[in-house]
Copies of this chain bind each other. A is one copy, B any other.
Amino acid sequence: MKLYAGCFLKMEASLPTPTILMLRPRSGGGQFVLSEEYIMEPHVAVSEYTDSYGNFCQRLIIPSGTFSIKTRTCVETIDEIDVDFSAELVPAEDIPEEILSFLLPSRYCQSDLLGHMALEIVEGYPQGYEQVEAIRAWIRKNIVYEYGTSDVSTSALDTARTRTGVCRDFSHLGISLCRSLNIPARMVVGYLYDLKPMDLHAWFEAYLGGRWYIFDATQEKPVGKRISIAYGRDAADVALATHFGLVNLLEMNVWANDTPQE
């Protein structure tokens, strides 16, 4: 389908503030950018680069006063994500070199400490896709989705204990459990059609049978209609805005519809 998505950010800074944004999706992996727009008010100089995960990063200095950004995109995306219960575990010796780093523990994904939990969850499931789906289903069933129970410092280890969190925490836990079983896993942030309440979203992908598969522990069914904006080891790599200084977010609006929005 054609998914029309975007976001509007209105900020206020008292001093010029160096900032890195990741707000521009790119084509690849099941999505093709048909159009996009990136408007700043006031317009400032931006340098754009690609980080080591292939994400577009916009680097700018937010001026003092109010500053807003509006990005809009129309992406050809898939309606249903691929589901393949026969996708096999890739043996460690066959994992491509550039995928290996997604096996390592990271800031919010202490996979080195969650091996026992993972083994309990996947007990009885055949290796591969079925294990990851078991993890996803377990999280959906056992972790309570609730705003305000976690924050930017919350890690998978915390979530395993508190059993509550939001999409970001669900993803971190899923990623950690996969990695502890030597299944490469990564974080994705982006848009999901018809998400309620509408917001930016996070999910994870696992590398099985030679490719990445999408898993979303916040959803009942394997829905597509997603736009990926950024990939990384965990939330540390995919912050949509990193400010080196104090910036107040005055307003934030996110949308992902089947028709264009003004």
Contacts and interface: CB of A to CB of B under 8 A. Distances in A.
Contact of A37 (B34, B58, B100, B101): B34
Given A38-B33, A107-B106, A101 B48 contact: no
B107 A104 contact: yes
A229 interface: no
B18 A51 contact: no
A32 B46 contact: yes
Given A32-B48, A43-B76, A107-B107, 10 more contacts: A20-B100, A27-B47, A33-B48, A34-B39, A35-B36, A35-B39, A93-B244, A104-B237, A106-B236, A107-B112
Interface residues of A, number: 49
A110 interface: yes
Given A93-B18, A110-B107, A182 B35 contact: no
A195 interface: no
B39 A97 contact: no
The 6 lowest CB-CB distance pairs between A and B, nearest first, are A92-B244, A27-B48, A18-B93, A35-B37, A18-B92, A105-B107
Interface of A: 18, 20, 26-28, 32-39, 43, 45-52, 54, 57-59, 61, 76, 91-93, 97-98, 100-101, 104-107, 109-110, 112-113, 152-153, 182, 236-237, 244
A97 B51 contact: yes
Contacts of A107: 104-107, 109-110, 112
